[in-house]
């Protein structure tokens, strides 16, 4: 392994990661500077309702696609979401495994599974870009940051397909591109929408607290009675 590859896969990553961590600390401090709101209305009269249950339900919401109408109706979108986020998490993991525990990447099955995951996520990234540009409402709400973040992640996932075998002996190009992109990604993330995972616990905490307090969360699904016509006869 050349000195340059050693540098980009090790020191550069550590520098980028430290930078990201410092910015995140400032960001959390900034968020915590705003006062926490309190509930002003009377709590739900349902004795089972509680803010705590609401918070737990809200946090668990991500793993319960049946809990939201949007994910129930758009199950394909939910599957995409899971694959895409798993791939990003695995990709970040790989950037640590390659320099510090390369043995974990030795079995070919691991490499192939990761490549399949990255390739699937890359295809999802392309589809999401298409959706963002073709749907009028999506186009209207998309900022340059939204578009750039999506392109950045998609290209990074594409690069990781070629970096996964970790074979610098066959040419260092794919690994160099992968690690430079990872470092850029880590530096850019705190300033972009990609840092939404940092806010996720906060937004879901407060929303869950409010909804739990008011007895809305956990959502109880009731079987809807069949609609009837005005003669009281059930429609088919």
Partner 1 sequence: MAQNARSHKASKVVERMGKKLTRQMVGSLVGCVHCGMCTDSCHYVLANPDDPTYAPAYKADQIRKIFKRNFDWTGKIFPWWVHAQDVRTDEDLEKLKDIVFGKCTNCRRCSLNCPMGVDFATLNRMARGLLVSVGVMPEGVAVVSKDQWEVGNQMGVLPQDYLETLEWLSDELEAEFKDPAARIPIDRMDADIVYAINPREVKPHFLSCGRELDHAQRRMGHDQFWSLLRGR
List interacting residues with partner 1 (CB under 8 A).
Answer: 31-32, 34-37, 58, 61-62, 68-71, 73-74, 77, 81, 131, 135-146, 191-193, 196, 199-200, 202-204, 206-208, 210-211, 216, 219
Nearer of residues 162 and 206 to partner 1, judged by Cβ = 206
Q: CA-CA distance, 69 to 162, in Å (whole number)?
A: 38
Residues 183, 185, 186, 191: is their CA dihedral positive or negative?
Answer: positive
Nearer of residues 112 and 131 to partner 1, judged by Cβ = 131
What number of CA atoms fall less than 13 Å from residue 78's CA on the CB side? 15
Minimum CB distance to partner 1, residue 73 (Å): 7
Nearer of residues 29 and 106 to partner 1, judged by Cβ = 29
- For residue 111, give Cα distances in angstroms to 39, 96, 119, 164, 165: 50, 15, 12, 6, 6
Nearer of residues 123 and 216 to partner 1, judged by Cβ = 216
Minimum CB distance to partner 1, residue 210 (Å): 7
Minimum CB distance to partner 1, residue 34 (Å): 4
Q: CA-CA distance, 91 to 150, in Å (whole number)?
A: 15
């Amino acid at each position: 392994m050349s000195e340059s590859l050693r540098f980009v896969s090790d020191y550069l990553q550590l520098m980028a990661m430290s930078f990201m961590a410092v910015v995140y600390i400032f960001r959390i401090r900034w968020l915590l500077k705003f006062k926490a709101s309190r509930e002003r209305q009377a709590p739900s009269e349902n004795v089972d309702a509680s803010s705590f249950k609401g918070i737990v339900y809200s946090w668990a919401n991500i793993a319960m696609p049946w809990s939201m109408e949007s994910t129930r109706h758009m199950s394909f979108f939910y599957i995409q979401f899971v694959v895409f986020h798993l791939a990003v998490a695995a990709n970040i993991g790989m950037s640590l495994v390659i320099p510090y525990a390369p043995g974990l990447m030795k079995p070919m099955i691991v490499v192939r599974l990761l490549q399949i995951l990255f390739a699937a996520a890359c295809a999802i990234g392309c589809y999401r870009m298409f959706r963002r540009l073709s749907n009028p409402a999506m186009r209207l709400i998309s900022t340059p940051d939204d578009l750039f973040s999506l392109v950045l992640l998609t290209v990074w996932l594409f690069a990781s397909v070629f970096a996964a075998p970790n074979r610098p002996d066959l040419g260092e190009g794919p690994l160099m591109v992968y690690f430079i992109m990872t470092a850029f990604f880590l530096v850019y993330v705190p300033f972009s929408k990609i840092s939404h995972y940092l806010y996720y616990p906060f937004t879901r905490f407060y929303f869950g607290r409010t909804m739990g307090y008011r007895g809305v969360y956990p959502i109880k699904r009731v079987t809807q009675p069949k609609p009837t016509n005005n003669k009281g006869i059930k429609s088919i």
